[in-house]
Amino acid sequence: MKIQCIDISLQGSVLHLSLQMLSDGIEIDSFYLMKLKVQFVRFMGFSNVSVMPTPNHQSFYLKFGDIGEIFEMSFSCIEQLVHVVDSPHVIGLPHSALGIVNEHDAKTNIVLVGSVFVDATLCMVCTLRDFPSLPVLTLKSLLESLYIIIQKYDFEDSLFRHLQPLLRKAILRIMGLLSKTAISYELRLLSLTIAQTTIRRFYTFLGSSVPYVSIYRMASETQVILVSSSIS
């Protein structure tokens, strides 16, 4: 049992270092980037992880389900995820690496390296059972990752359009944090900022599913004061 714990801890350390090197701009191709993502979703504990080759056998599709809970050894990877999705470095990726099925995979799209982790980040926000009970630093890192994704990735672009339902679900989950008095004022304000920024930027497809007026109502109920100048 002790050996197994050491092995898991070593996996976490290696994964954390890999994510750090990725965000710092280490040279990597799409195949090894996807292998890193496979290791990430497996280590984090996503359910139903499966890997299937594309028709041309030059890449593969990665599918995964919900994530019910995460363990302490995974916290540092979430905290490093902020830097990955915020990294300015780009890479050429096939459609399959972005989770787009039934597309010609010969075409390469130049995107930010953090693009391959957008769906996993959204899925964590949507499906973690004890989301508000995460350690403060880990919860803050996950919220910051979501905020960065909203700012840097265009969900109206064809490369990310398939993630719109997941983003919508994530924002509704974030709005639920506004009534959680157990979390800090800072995190509730960050949650409010995320919700409002998302609606302002992507109102065309969010529409009334995330009512703008509800944000102000919930902010008033939780005594969170929105300063408009703090919203970009």
The answer to pTM > 0.95 is no
Mean pLDDT of 101-115: 81
- pLDDT for 115 beyond 80: yes
Q: What's the rounded mean pLDDT across residues 104-117?
A: 86
| Count of domains observed in the chain | 1
* Residue 139 domain boundaries: 2-230
What's the rounded Cα separation, in Å, for the pair 161 and 6?
41
Helix (H) or strand (E) holding 110: strand 109-112
Contacts of 127 (CB under 8 A, 6+ apart): 66, 67, 68
- Say yes or no to pLDDT of 6 above 80: no
- Smallest CA-to-CA distance from 141 within 213, 224, 72, 76 is with 76
In terms of C-beta distances under 8 Å and separation of at least 24 residues, what long-range contacts does 40-43 make, across chains too? 40/15, 40/77, 40/117, 40/120, 41/120, 43/11, 43/12, 43/15, 43/74, 43/77
pLDDT for residue 226: 44
Residue 26 in tokens:
């280490």
Q: pLDDT grade, residue 225 (50/70/90)? A: very low
Check whether 216 has a pLDDT greater than 70: no
- pLDDT at 87 exceeding the cut of 60: yes
Higher pLDDT: 77 or 224? It is 77
Instruction: Give yes or no for a contact between 85 and 145, defined as CB atoms under 8 angstroms apart.
Output: yes
Mean pLDDT, rounded, for 64-72: 90
pLDDT of the residue at 220? 52
